[in-house]
């Protein structure tokens, strides 16, 4: 080495995908925020932003580590360092053990928007990092998981309404996307445009695919399947088929049809729903009208009667669905998917 130069060697003790390495050089201020077990939690921000940055990144990292460790499996890295970097211009990047954030993340206000980014990037330490997709075609295993598990932490930390708000926002973004990109599918034989690797649908539709799976299988069965999936592929590469196998083993169900329609087909269902009150009862008709694949799905409906009573029913929908019932009080409203469990758009009419 020449005069005034120094060689430094770094060794990562954990197997890591090459695209998750991160290196930066700057004058940084460093704070050890806390520890989770033996894992130090650190904040690295530009020196001039240290007061605001230390405040912003003091939370919620420890709570997030504890939540995912319990829900999914062990955190594999030897530390967690949240780092501000000009090389991350828009949001965050899930570098292994050192998630990086744009300088705009430092606000001194603990912005809720940036708190969500922190949660998302830490979720990637499990999904995308510890378990890395085998190929970019399966990138939803990274982004879909990180997006959904961000919502699960939000429910845990901030309440169920926050979780539902996040699901509804994601659903609307998916609906808007498919108005212009009706044939886009999450998993394809190959990705010819790398812009699609980080396209919005990998995040939002991936998250919704997991949400509906969790509701279909039941939370405990779903969590068991995810834990065994993580245990087998921790510090390895996984494919969509590997996830399916673990969920099938946990549930005893054949999920080929489910995975096919939500991951390997384009579009989402659009439902035209008509209900009518007859003299001696009522009828509800449901028809799928989208131009793409016809989905097999269950749709919950809430029946609201004139006397204030409410009933829940589930309609099985292929290309069409139908439900008829009798009631003592007049039916005055039909609420579709009141518990936010189905990815679809719909119009409701009363004739």
In a domain, 295, yes or no: yes
The answer to whether 63 and 157 are in contact (CB under 8 A) is yes
Q: Which of 152-161, 274-283, 333-342 has the lowest mean pLDDT?
A: 274-283
pLDDT, average across residues 267-291: 92
> Which of the four pLDDT bands, split at 50, 70 and 90, describes residue 287?
very high
The arithmetic mean of pLDDT across residues 256-278, rounded, is: 95
Domain count, the chain: 3
Residue 288 lies in a domain: yes
DSSP 57: T
Q: Are residues 299 and 209 in the same domain?
A: no
Q: Residue 65: is its pLDDT beyond 80?
A: yes
Place of tokens 């005069």: 3
- C-beta of residue 13 within 8 angstroms of C-beta of residue 50: no
Q: What is the CATH number of the domain that holds 328?
A: 2.60.40.1840
Alpha-carbon span 269 to 289, nearest angstrom: 8
Q: What is the mean pLDDT of residues 273-283?
A: 90
- Tell whether 152 and 238 lie within a shared domain: yes
Q: Both 111 and 156 in a single domain? A: no
N-terminal to C-terminal alpha carbon distance within the chain: 84
**1 in a structural domain:** no
Q: What is the CA radius of gyration of the chain?
A: 23
Which helix (DSSP H) or strand (DSSP E) does residue 96 occupy?
none
Range of the domain at 161: 133-263
Compute the average pLDDT of residues 284-295: 92
Which of 126, 147, 175 lies at the terminal end of a domain, its last residue? 126
- Same domain, yes or no: 204 and 115: no
CB-count exposure of residue 264 (10 Å: 0-12, 13-18, 19+) = middle
**What CATH number is attached to the domain comprising 95?**
1.10.390.10
pLDDT > 70 in the chain, percent: 97
pLDDT reading at 212 higher than 80: yes
5 in a domain, yes or no?
Answer: no
Q: Are residues 149 and 219 in the same domain?
A: yes
pLDDT of residue 328: 83
| Domain presence at residue 10 | no
């Amino acid at each position: 080495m020449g005069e005034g130069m120094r060689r430094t060697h770094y060794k990562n003790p954990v197997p890591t995908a090459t695209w998750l390495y991160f290196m930066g050089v700057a004058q940084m201020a460093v704070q050890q925020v806390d520890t989770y077990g033996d894992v130090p939690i650190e904040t690295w921000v530009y020196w001039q932003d240290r007061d605001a940055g230390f405040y912003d990144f003091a939370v919620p990292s420890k709570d997030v580590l504890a939540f995912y460790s319990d829900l999914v499996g062990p955190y594999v890295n030897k530390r967690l360092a949240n780092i501000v970097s000009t090389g991350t211009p828009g949001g965050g990047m899930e570098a292994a053990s050192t998630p990086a954030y744009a300088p705009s993340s430092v606000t001194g206000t603990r912005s809720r928007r940036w708190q969500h980014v922190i949660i998302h990037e830490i979720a990637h330490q499990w999904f995308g990092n510890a378990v890395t997709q085998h190929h970019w075609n399966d990138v939803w295993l990274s982004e879909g998981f990180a997006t959904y598990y961000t919502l699960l932490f939000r429910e845990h930390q901030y309440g169920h309404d926050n979780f539902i708000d996040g699901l509804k926002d994601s659903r609307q973004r998916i609906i808007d996307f498919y108005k212009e990109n009706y044939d886009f599918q999450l998993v394809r034989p190959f990705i010819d445009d790398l812009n699609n690797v980080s396209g919005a649908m990998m995040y939002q539709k991936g998250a919704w695919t997991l949400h509906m799976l969790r509701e279909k299988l039941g939370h405990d069965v779903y969590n068991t399947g995810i834990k065994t999936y993580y245990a087998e592929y921790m510090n390895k590469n996984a494919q969509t088929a590997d996830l399916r196998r673990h969920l099938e083993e946990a549930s005893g169900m054949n999920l080929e049809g489910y995975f096919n329609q939500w991951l390997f087909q384009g579009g989402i269902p659009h439902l035209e729903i008509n209900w009518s009150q007859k003299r001696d009862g009522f009828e509800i008709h449901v028809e799928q009208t989208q131009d793409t694949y016809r989905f097999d799905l269950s749709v919950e409906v809430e029946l609201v009667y004139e006397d204030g009573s409410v009933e829940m029913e589930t309609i099985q929908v292929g290309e069409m669905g139908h439900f008829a019932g009798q009631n003592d009080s007049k039916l005055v409203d039909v609420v579709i998917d009141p518990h936010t469990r189905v990815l679809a758009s719909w119009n409701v009419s009363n004739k």
